[in-house]
Amino acid sequence: MQTGNQHQGTPARRRVEAAERVVSRAFTLVELLVVISVIATLMGMLAQSLRNAREQARVVVCCAHTAAIGRAAASYSSEMRQWLCGSPGTSGSVMFSDEQIESTDEDIATDPSQIWDYAGALGPTYMNRSLPANRAERMRTLVEDGFACPSNSYFADPIQGSTEEVGPIGSFDRQPMASFNTIRNFLMWPRTMVDRDPSQPWGPIAPFPQASFDTIGGRTLRPKNYKPHIDRITNPAGKVYLADGNRYTDGEGNITYDVEWDAEAGGAFCNGGPTLPLTHGTNPHVLSSYQIDMSIGKIGYRHISAGDRGIVANFFDGHSTFVSEPESREPDYWWPRGTVIPFSELNESSLKCVTGRLRPDYSYRVGR
């Protein structure tokens, strides 16, 4: 017959059993590594989610800024008989009134800082911005606050015209890069149109002939009856007025901004969009260089949404949205309907977008 002590085992046996229970409750090294791995994976997923949320928030803010600029431009047009803001022949034509003005003069009695400057034309009247009288200071002011993209941390060096000299020019110096550019393809006033119908003025003043251009840097031809007027914009929901971007970098990849007020290619505030060839001379186009040099391409394509890199664009109907890099290569976004673009003036990515739509003479006609 067993006693109670015999049933429970000897003290030594009880200590062994207790130790075995303690050991059985401890983690093995493999289990510990598995737990650490799971925690690290969860933390990585959380960090990525936070980054995605932060990026998406920046897209939302950028859309809000560009939409506000678009609304201001629409108000401008409604008051100026539907002429578009930012054109050398419309808001920029005031800078041609005094032929004594030198291209880099800093004191000019106009709101725009350059003939393509939409921001100077909109800021004081439509966006409650007080602008300095000095043009160099004014250009710095017009790349901040509501005119700035939250993902733009880049700085630009001043450059005079097409020269390679980069450095201080008068009071012009290194400044934040202009975040948003209007699209000059919609803002050009063909000289043939000005000559044909000079009785159609912008405001009280007919366009100056020197404020119009048949082409800029190539053989692309807009429709002969085109002018920077809202009724010439077909499919306004599919045509971009303003977008993330910048013109070009110098040959070494430094971002530049043109200080001349009569900068024909767009100055600091306007560009030709992401369909252009990869370079302008030796200078890479910011929006066109994405495929060959990401360090330059990300200057313009600085947003990420749903894993895709792209830009924020404001359309003529007023809406702003994210446009992915591949989608942005479609020429129809960036040119008036009826424009004829030689294939040599489209970059490789844009040519892929129009495969099967080239004409027999190897040009593309914008169809919508």
Mean residue pLDDT of the chain comes to: 85
Token pair for 321: 């949205």
- pLDDT tens digits for range 269-308: 999 999 999 988 788 899 998 888 888 989 999 999 988 9
pLDDT of 208 over the 90 cut = no
pLDDT of 23 over the 60 cut = no
pLDDT of 83 over the 80 cut = yes
pLDDT band, residue 161 (cuts 50/70/90): confident
| CA-wise closest residue to 215 among 85, 367, 335 | 335
- pLDDT tens digits for range 220-276: 888 878 889 999 999 999 999 999 999 888 878 889 999 999 887 899 999 999 999
pLDDT reported for residue 301? 96
Domain ranges of the chain: 30-365
- pLDDT tens digits for range 322-340: 999 999 999 999 999 999 9
Tell me the pTM.
0.84
3-class SS letters over 35-56 = HHHHHHHHHHHHHHHHHHHHHH
- What is each CA distance from 211 to 94, 116, 159, 173, 199, in whole angstroms? 10, 10, 22, 27, 16
Question: Around Cβ 340, how many Cβ atoms within 10 Å?
Answer: 16
**Helical pair 29-79 and 118-126, crossing angle rounded to 10 deg:** 80
Mean pLDDT of 37-43: 82
pLDDT of 16 over the 80 cut = no
Q: When comparing pLDDT for 82 and 210, which is higher?
A: 82
Distance CA 250, CA 162 (A): 10
pLDDT reported for residue 166? 65
pLDDT reported for residue 206? 47
pLDDT reported for residue 335? 96
Contact status, residue 73 vs residue 86, Cβ threshold 8 Å: yes
pLDDT reported for residue 39? 85
pLDDT > 70: what percent of the chain? Answer: 85
pLDDT reported for residue 228? 92
pLDDT reported for residue 205? 46
pLDDT of 349 over the 60 cut = yes
